[in-house]
């Protein structure tokens, strides 16, 4: 029967999506969960997998067209069926009119492998499908409001293993977090539906867990050996072993891990006499070699098979040529980690000539090396990513919704700088993190929020209410490869200087390494952004709704300042100075309230009474 592909719900407030690219065309054969098309919304860009195996018989919504959630995007028919579910015309013409019963029998036989084989192709090599209705499915959970899919990075259990309730079963990676998925029930892992490095939509089945002691589905490949002659009878799979035999030899020379068929590569390294048999057998598990088999002669993106939009986007942003990368994923698939490593190596290679040129000519080579390298994007035009467009809209909306104003004060942090210099070594030994200026700013800001809760409040003009949170949830802006992200220190008012230092370091590290959870980047009531980390004196931050204020800390610099000495009077001295700039919603926070808040922060920092917390 034909299967309808519908627009999934890609977020709580998302009602429609735009088809940006069809990865398959009408008449193409598709597998279960194989990426079928790319869809863009105002929150995410994602892939839509095929809900069934068969042939893409009809595309309903074309590229750059918008469809509502739940509407039909395409129709997938079984092999030998039309979009209406009837047998295809060529099969009806072959029997002619010799005998109706004789014609029906070959037709039924032709339809059976068309249904069975895609199912076999969609399953991973290590597990055959479990009978429908048996066992409990493990589904891809919702890992954040805007997360619609996840990639299986590692299976912690294998088919046949016993599992306890809530025992970690697999690791899943999204564009925001890496996390473990626990088992929903106790029992035996019968089937793995999504292998490592494959992507699945939220709600999709990842595995099947049966009752304890149940026989895993691994015993079923032997009876299904009958599918091998059927696969050989099909015209398409026949050339695949020939195409793979040549690349298999090429791939063995660099490393066996780069082979597109990992079981075959292992067999070749462990038992050389069995090479001829191993080269012929990989045609049985069709799903593993099928995608990369055709482009295996090339390198990079084509050799690795399908490349996700995230990987392509990262490669474009970092100027990385996908054809120059050897993927570390299953079957040589290129992952985002491969792109980031290649970008880091490219940066290191660009920086290397500068020190090498210094011995040849003392100061002369240093000047050209200091010049910024021209970007590869110069003179080009690219389509605005939907995520960037969404950020732009939200920033503009925030400015339009609020009457934002910025107030700046200058703070003498000389005492803090001296305390930091005295205590940084012992502080790192005691707490395991470096002592920067940011925890001092955070502690002073949180204490001022407790004294002036209006700065920590939010306003609903339509409802006519002001909400004062029960705690101070401090957002910390972090610069990452994916852009600016704001993890949150929940209950920051309950932490001392050491606690804030450890939480800031921990959140920043896990945010940059994409190990932060969705709950840790939501719920901020006040945000702190350290614009001085890149040398800026100060800026005018844009307050993110529904917060009412945001504090920016500039660079700490030494400069001559007029100070009032008790003995000498007014003298000029070198002091460590910093600008603090707070933007706020002037509809809720008056200028006097903002000034009182900033003065409280200023006085706390200039007093420098942190000896007790630093153990001095």
Higher pLDDT: 83 or 38? It is 38
- Give residue 119's pLDDT: 38
Annotated catalytic residue within 318, 431, 490, 586: 586
Angular region, 371: left φ>0, alpha ψ -120 to 50, beta rest:
beta
Residues of the chain with CATH 2.40.50.100: 3-122, 136-213
> Which segment of 154-168, 280-294, 405-419, 515-529 scores lowest on mean pLDDT?
280-294
Q: pLDDT band for position 494 (50/70/90)? A: very high
Q: pLDDT band for position 369 (50/70/90)? A: low
pTM score: 0.47
Chain CA centroid to CA 130, Å: 30
Q: Are 442 and 433 in contact (CB under 8 A)?
A: no
For residue 130, what are the contacts with CB-CB under 8 A and spacing of at least 6?
190, 191, 208, 210, 217
Q: Are 161 and 26 in contact (CB under 8 A)?
A: no
- Give residue 82's pLDDT: 56
Q: Is the pLDDT of residue 290 over 50?
A: no
Annotated catalytic residue within 64, 161, 166, 590: 590
Q: Which of 276, 238, 277, 283 is nearest to 260 (CA)?
A: 283
Q: Are 451 and 613 in contact (CB under 8 A)?
A: no
Chain CA centroid to CA 118, Å: 29
- Give residue 146's pLDDT: 61
- Give residue 473's pLDDT: 96
Phi, psi values for residue 146, rounded to 5°: -100, 5
Q: pLDDT band for position 81 (50/70/90)? A: low
Domain spanning 387-614: CATH superfamily = Chloramphenicol acetyltransferase-like domain (3.30.559.10)
Q: Are 43 and 14 in contact (CB under 8 A)?
A: yes
CB atoms < 10 A from the CB of 334, how many? 29
Tens-place pLDDT, residues 330-350: 556 687 778 888 888 888 777
Q: pLDDT band for position 174 (50/70/90)? A: confident
Q: Is the pLDDT of residue 61 over 90?
A: yes
Calculate the CA dihedral of residues 48, 50, 56, 60 and round it to 10 degrees.
Answer: -40
Q: Which of 539, 560, 540, 555 is nearest to 437 (CA)?
A: 555
Segment holding 108, helix H or strand E: helix 100-122
Q: Are 504 and 438 in contact (CB under 8 A)?
A: yes
- Give residue 386's pLDDT: 67
Give the residues across from 179 on adjacent strands: 172
Query: How confident is the model over 364-393, as a mean pLDDT?
Result: 73
- Give residue 404's pLDDT: 95
- Give residue 122's pLDDT: 38
> Strand 557-565 to strand 29-30: parallel, antiparallel, or no bridges (unpaired)?
unpaired
Report the distance separating Cα 234 and Cα 215, nearest Å.
32
Burial class (CB in 10 A: 0-12, 13-18, 19+), 68: exposed
| Of the ranges 100-104, 358-362, 459-463, the best mean pLDDT one | 459-463
Q: pLDDT band for position 69 (50/70/90)? A: confident
> Which segment of 76-90, 138-152, 288-302 scores lowest on mean pLDDT?
288-302
Q: pLDDT band for position 591 (50/70/90)? A: very high
Q: Which of 257, 383, 380 is nearest to 312 (CA)?
A: 383
Report the distance separating Cα 221 and Cα 226, nearest Å.
9
Q: Is the pLDDT of residue 307 over 80?
A: no
Report the distance separating Cα 600 and Cα 121, nearest Å.
66
| Of the ranges 388-392, 448-452, 530-534, the best mean pLDDT one | 448-452
Counting residues of the chain whose pLDDT is more than 70, the rounded percentage is 68
In the chain, % helix, strand, coil (3-state, to 5) comes to 40, 25, 40
- Give residue 217's pLDDT: 55
Q: What is the DSSP letter of 86?
A: S
Secondary structure string (H, E, C) spanning 222-275: CHHHHHHHHHHHCCCCCHHHHHHHHHHHHHHCCCHHHCCCHHHHHHHHHCHHHH
Segment holding 404, helix H or strand E: strand 404-412
Q: Are 478 and 485 in contact (CB under 8 A)?
A: yes
Render 146-197 in DSSP notation, one character per residue: T--EEEEEEESS-TT-EE-TT-EEEEEE-SS-EEEEE-SS-EEEEEESS-TT
Report the distance separating Cα 25 and Cα 46, nearest Å.
18
Give the residues across from 433 on adjacent strands: none
Report the distance separating Cα 191 and Cα 127, nearest Å.
5
Q: Is the pLDDT of residue 415 over 90?
A: yes
Architecture of the domain spanning 136-213: Beta Barrel (2.40)
Q: What totals of helices (H) and strands (E) does the chain contain, helices first?
A: 18, 27
Strands (E), 465-601: 465-467, 474-476, 478-480, 483-485, 488-489, 526-529, 549-553, 557-565, 569-585
Query: How confident is the model over 446-462, as a mean pLDDT?
Result: 96
Report the distance separating Cα 277 and Cα 294, nearest Å.
21
Calculate the CA dihedral of residues 501, 507, 510, 514 and round it to 10 degrees.
Answer: -150
Q: What is the DSSP letter of 498?
A: H
Q: Are 162 and 212 in contact (CB under 8 A)?
A: yes
Report the distance separating Cα 51 and Cα 183, nearest Å.
24
Residue 586 is a catalytic residue: yes
CB atoms < 10 A from the CB of 243, how many? 15
Q: Are 299 and 327 in contact (CB under 8 A)?
A: no
Q: pLDDT band for position 106 (50/70/90)? A: very low
Report the distance separating Cα 338 and Cα 139, nearest Å.
27
Sign of the CA dihedral 195, 198, 202, 205?
negative
- Give residue 120's pLDDT: 38
> Strand 569-585 to strand 404-412: parallel, antiparallel, or no bridges (unpaired)?
antiparallel
The answer as to CATH 2.40.50.100 being correct for domain 3-122 is: yes
Q: Is the pLDDT of residue 505 over 70?
A: yes
Residues of the chain with CATH 3.30.559.10: 387-614
Q: Is the pLDDT of residue 274 over 60?
A: no
Q: Are 150 and 173 in contact (CB under 8 A)?
A: yes
Exposure of 357 in the CB half-sphere (CA atoms within 13 A): 13
- Give residue 178's pLDDT: 67
Report the distance separating Cα 57 and Cα 54, nearest Å.
9
Tens-place pLDDT, residues 107-166: 444 444 444 443 334 333 343 343 444 688 898 887 765 678 888 888 899 998 888 887
- Give residue 257's pLDDT: 38
- Give residue 176's pLDDT: 58
Q: In what order do the strands lie in the sheet with 45-49?
A: 45-49, 35-40, 16-22, 66-68
Q: pLDDT band for position 417 (50/70/90)? A: very high
Q: Is the pLDDT of residue 286 over 50?
A: no
Report the distance separating Cα 387 and Cα 484, nearest Å.
12
Q: Is the pLDDT of residue 418 over 80?
A: yes
Query: How confident is the model over 515-537, as a mean pLDDT?
Result: 89
Higher pLDDT: 257 or 213? It is 213
Q: Is the pLDDT of residue 429 over 70?
A: yes
Average pLDDT, the chain: 75
Q: What is the DSSP letter of 81?
A: B
């Amino acid at each position: 029967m034909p299967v309808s592909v519908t627009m999934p719900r890609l977020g709580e407030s998302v009602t429609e999506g735009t088809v940006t690219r069809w990865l398959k065309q009408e008449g193409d054969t598709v597998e279960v969960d194989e990426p079928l098309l790319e869809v863009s919304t105002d929150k995410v860009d994602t892939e839509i997998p095929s809900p069934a195996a068969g042939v893409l018989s009809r595309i309903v919504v074309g590229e750059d067209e918008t469809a509502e959630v739940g509407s039909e995007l395409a129709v997938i028919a079984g092999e030998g069926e039309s979009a209406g579910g009837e047998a295809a015309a060529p099969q009806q013409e072959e029997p002619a009119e010799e005998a109706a019963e004789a014609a029906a029998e070959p037709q039924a036989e032709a339809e059976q492998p068309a249904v069975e084989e895609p199912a076999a192709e969609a399953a991973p090599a290590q597990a055959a499908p479990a009978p429908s209705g048996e066992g409990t499915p493990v589904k891809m959970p919702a890992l954040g409001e805007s997360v619609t899919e996840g990639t299986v990075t590692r299976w912690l259990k294998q088919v046949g293993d016993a599992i306890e309730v809530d025992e970690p079963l697999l690791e899943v990676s999204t564009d925001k977090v890496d996390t473990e998925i626990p088992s929903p029930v106790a029992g035996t892992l019968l089937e793995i539906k999504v292998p490592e490095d494959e992507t699945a939509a939220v709600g999709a089945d990842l595995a099947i867990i049966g009752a304890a002691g149940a026989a895993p589905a691994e015993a079923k490949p032997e009876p299904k050996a009958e599918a091998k002659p059927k696969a050989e009878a099909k015209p398409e799979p026949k050339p695949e072993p020939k195409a793979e035999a040549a690349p298999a030899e090429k791939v063995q020379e660099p490393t066996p891990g780069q082979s597109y068929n990992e079981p075959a590569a292992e067999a070749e390294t462990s038992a050389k006499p069995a090479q001829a048999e191993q080269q012929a057998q990989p045609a049985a598990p069709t799903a593993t070699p099928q995608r990369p088999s055709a482009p295996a002669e090339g390198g990079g993106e084509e050799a690795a098979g399908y490349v996700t939009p995230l990987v392509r986007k990262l490669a474009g942003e970092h100027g990385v040529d996908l054809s120059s990368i050897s993927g570390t994923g299953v079957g040589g698939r290129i992952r985002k980690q491969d792109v980031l490593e290649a970008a880091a190596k490219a940066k290191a290679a660009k920086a290397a000539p500068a020190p090498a040129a210094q011995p040849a000519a003392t100061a002369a080579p240093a000047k050209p090396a200091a010049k910024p390298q021209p970007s590869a994007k110069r003179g080009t035009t690219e389509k605005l990513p939907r995520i960037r467009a969404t950020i732009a809209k939200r920033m503009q909306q925030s400015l339009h919704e609020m009457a934002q104003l910025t107030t700046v004060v200058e703070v003498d942090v000389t005492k803090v700088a001296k305390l930091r210099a005295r205590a940084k070594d012992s502080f790192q030994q005691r707490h395991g993190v470096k002592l920067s200026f940011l925890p001092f700013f955070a502690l002073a800001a949180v204490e001022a929020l407790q004294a002036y809760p209006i700065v920590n409040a939010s306003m609903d003009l339509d409802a006519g209410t002001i909400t004062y949170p029960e705690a101070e949830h401090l957002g910390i802006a972090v610069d990452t490869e994916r852009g600016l992200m704001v993890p949150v220190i929940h209950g920051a008012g309950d932490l001392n200087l050491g606690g804030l230092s450890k939480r800031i370091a921990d959140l920043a590290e896990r945010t940059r390494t994409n190990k932060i959870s969705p709950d840790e980047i939501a719920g901020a009531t006040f945000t702190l952004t350290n614009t001085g980390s890149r040398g800026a004196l100060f800026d005018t931050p844009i307050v993110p709704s529904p917060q009412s204020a945001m504090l920016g800390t500039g660079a700490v610099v030494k400069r001559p300042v007029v100070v009032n000495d008790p003995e000498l009077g007014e003298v000029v001295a070198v002091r460590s100075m910093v600008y603090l700039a707070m933007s706020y919603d002037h509809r809720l926070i008056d200028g006097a309230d903002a000034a009182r808040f900033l003065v409280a922060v200023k006085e706390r920092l200039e007093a420098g009474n942190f000896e007790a917390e630093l153990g001095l």
